[in-house]
Chain A
Amino acid sequence: MLRITLASVAVLVALALALGPLADAQQGQPPPPWKQGQPANMADSTLAPIAQPPAPKAAGEIPVDKIKVPAGFKVSLWAHGINNAREMVWGDKGTLFVSSRVAGNVYALVDKGDSREVKVIAKGLNLPNGIAFKNGTLYIGEVSRITKMVGIEDKLDNPPAMEVVYDILPRDLPHGWKHLAFGPDGKLYFNIGAPCNICVPPDTHANLSRVNPDGTGFEYVAHGVRNSVGFDWHPITKRLYFTTHARDWMGDDSPSDRFDVVMRKGQHFGYPYCHAGDMLDPEFGKGKSCNDYVKPILKTGPHVAGNGVEFYTGSQFPAEYQNRAFLAQRGSWNRSKKIGFRVMMVTIDAKGGVAKYEPFAEGWLQGDEIWGRPVYTRTMKDGSLLIADDYAGAIYRVSYSR
């Protein structure tokens, strides 16, 4: 299962050669992916990715009252005990499907009125972050394949076999997990991340891609995208907006993560040469110009780790919330003082740019301690907003009443 492509080994070897002075001088092998690109003057840094707990928190260990939202909104704990809860999609019959990443599970949540029943419908998968639902079928995106479960909602206790939709995908695990979503054109969109922190990736990596739901017609949509695991389409313009995690080990305040819009197929968004639209990479940016790449419509902040993107079209929130984008930011590890761990909202102006960028829900970060990591949102039928927290293994519901 865990095969590494020849291309990626070649990348790592090339990376080890190319990094030269940036890597420790006497060392022949590349460091682990999260540490690649760390300059010599940061060699003593103790920063490392935040460990994913192996178990979800008990309800009593989840301080929902610490989550702050605008006046008129309230937050409740909607479901818990969902190890590593990530993406959420609704089935036609009201089932909420929830993915995970390192836990390897896909869950089905059945609403029992004042509680939710959690069923594991698939386990042992390879970072199954991406899920999408259409016409009674659940699609699951693992690192190197997209599969489907036909008629799943009628078989939650005896799930159907996973049928392969498309499996001609790189097997690299670094940034190999997928966001999966159906576009307004009916195609299935996903990301293929860069197999490293910073490297010149093979042509097959660092992009957004799409394929028809029957597995035909694969094509690249955007290039130069380091690691995007959240995107959605504007409800009116139908344009594709996406978040991207920027590279690490360039300091606490650079480069910024970004929020972008795809104006036409095949645009290049700069990675690994230019970051945040205006900052050449110290190694790979030599001889390049940021003007040759698409600039972000919004710099979302350094290391904030923007994941989920969802445009709000529900009926419950005040009128000004219509068509705003919710950005779930899972939060930083490569920064001496933590940042992110919040849900932000973006108001898009008439030209498709950004009019306003402001917090919607925050409080998972208290001082420099975290108790949760908001990672994706999903609007409910009644217009409430669900927020998944992969660190606490919980889902919160934000509702509004005047």
Chain B
Amino acid sequence: MTTGAPAPTADLEAGQRKSEPCKACHGADGNATIPGTPSLAGQPVFFTHWQLIKFRDGRRKDPQMTPFAANLSDTDMADLAAYYAAQRPQPRPAVTDSAKAEAGRQLASQHHCVSCHRPGLTGHEQIPRLAGQDLAYLVKLLRGFKAQTAGDLDGTMTTAAQPLSEADIENLSHYMAALPPVPAPPR
């Protein structure tokens, strides 16, 4: 017999119910439309869950998300992550610049983005889908990693972002935002 925090078993219906307060920013089904706010639909379960943990313990900070995550239980996080992973990602409305996207495509190759984010930048496990993500959000996050304030799990992105110029960040973001939002493969 042992006790401890009861380990969560993900529940999609509970996740949908618990996502009520998230809808105002992240959209009814995890497809956000507000510039600067990420879509969560089709993101890997591990990714969303780990981000919620980091918001709760303060490693990742955001004026909206920090207070929201403070009240989530481990089970809440598992349910929300499972719910969003099961939703179909839609393209974001932001207009992308094809010349910048082409420059970004070359940068993505030079910086080995697919090594972790996988071909098509679909993400997997704890690594997010970047394809079809919001343009302004991608710019914001890459700036955060470069400034060493975005709080990644193991430092990989902080290291990867150090050589990026502001123009690189913009070009990479246009490339990623313009890719079709293919969901991450299931675990």
Interface residue ranges, A against B (CB under 8 Å)? 1-4, 9, 12, 26-35, 48, 51-59, 61, 77-83, 102-105, 112, 114-118, 123-124, 127, 172-174, 176, 393
- Asked if B67 CB lies within 8 Å of chain A CBs, one says no
Taking Cβ atoms with an 8 Å cutoff, the residues of B that contact A are: 1-9, 46, 49-50, 53-54, 57-59, 74, 77-78, 81, 109-112, 115-116, 125-126, 148-149, 151-156, 158-160, 162-163
Show 22 residue pairs from A and B whose CB-CB distance is below 8 angstroms, ordered by the A residue. A2-B158, A3-B148, A4-B155, A4-B158, A12-B159, A26-B109, A27-B109, A29-B111, A29-B163, A31-B115, A32-B160, A33-B156, A35-B112, A51-B126, A53-B46, A54-B53, A55-B8, A58-B9, A102-B50, A114-B1, A115-B2, A115-B3
The answer to whether B7 and A55 have CB atoms under 8 Å apart is yes
CB proximity of A283 to chain B, nearest CB, Å: 19
Q: With A12-B159, A55-B78, A174-B159 in contact, is A32–B116 under 8 Å at CB?
A: yes
Tell me what chain A mostly uses at the interface: helix, strand, loop, or mixed.
Answer: loop
Question: A61 to B46, alpha carbons, bound, how many Å?
Answer: 18
Question: Residues of A contacting B109 with CB < 8 Å?
Answer: 26-27
- Picked from A30, A55, A104, A127, the residue with its CB within 8 Å of the CB of B49 is A55
- Which residues does chain A contribute within 8 Å of B2, judged by CB atoms? 59, 77-81, 115-116
Interface of B, helix, strand, loop or mixed by DSSP: loop
Shortest A365–chain B CB gap in Å is 18
Residues of the B chain whose Cβ atoms lie less than 8 Å from the Cβ of A57? 7
CB pair A104–B112 under 8 Å, yes or no, is no
**CB-nearest residue of chain B to A397:** B2
CB proximity of A322 to chain B, nearest CB, Å: 29
In this complex, what residue of A is CB-closest to B111?
A: A29
B53 — nearest CB in chain A belongs to which residue?
A54
Nearest CB in chain B to that of A81: its residue: B4
Given the interface pairs A54-B50, A118-B5, A124-B57, the reply to whether A28 lies near B110 with Cβ below 8 Å is yes
